Amino acid sequence: MSKTGRTNYRRGSRGVAKAERQIVVRGVRRDQPDLRKLSRAVIAMALRDAEMKADIDQALTGTHIDQSTPSKPDAVEPADE
């Protein structure tokens, strides 16, 4: 008996008789995760994080690096004669 004088309702021997429960556990088969998709997502997150850190560093130091300018010139057109 509990401290308050009430019986435990979960005990079948003392309280109202209940039907016996049968608990069944079934496993769920899951597919393996797509590792290529996960790795692409992780790489994208790392690149975005590095980009944000570079932007913060540029803002703090006051320097600006123009990343929109390509490092190699485009195809050179021949000059008209």
Segment 10-66, tens digit of pLDDT: 765 655 566 778 888 899 988 999 999 999 999 999 999 999 999 999 999 886 556
Number of domains in the chain: 1
Q: Is residue 67 part of a domain?
A: no
Q: Is residue 40 part of a domain?
A: yes
Q: Is residue 44 part of a domain?
A: yes
> Out of 7-11, 53-57, 67-71, which region has the weakest mean confidence (pLDDT)?
67-71
Do 12 and 18 form a contact (C-beta atoms < 8 A)? Answer: yes
CA distances, 60 to each of 49, 54, 64, 66 (Å): 17, 10, 10, 16
Q: Is residue 23 part of a domain?
A: no
Tell me which amino acid residue 36 is.
Answer: R
- Alpha-carbon distance 67 to 47, whole Å? 14
Q: Please give the residue range of the domain that contains residue 45.
A: 33-59
How many angstroms separate the first and last alpha carbons of the chain?
108
Q: Is residue 68 part of a domain?
A: no
Q: Is residue 46 part of a domain?
A: yes
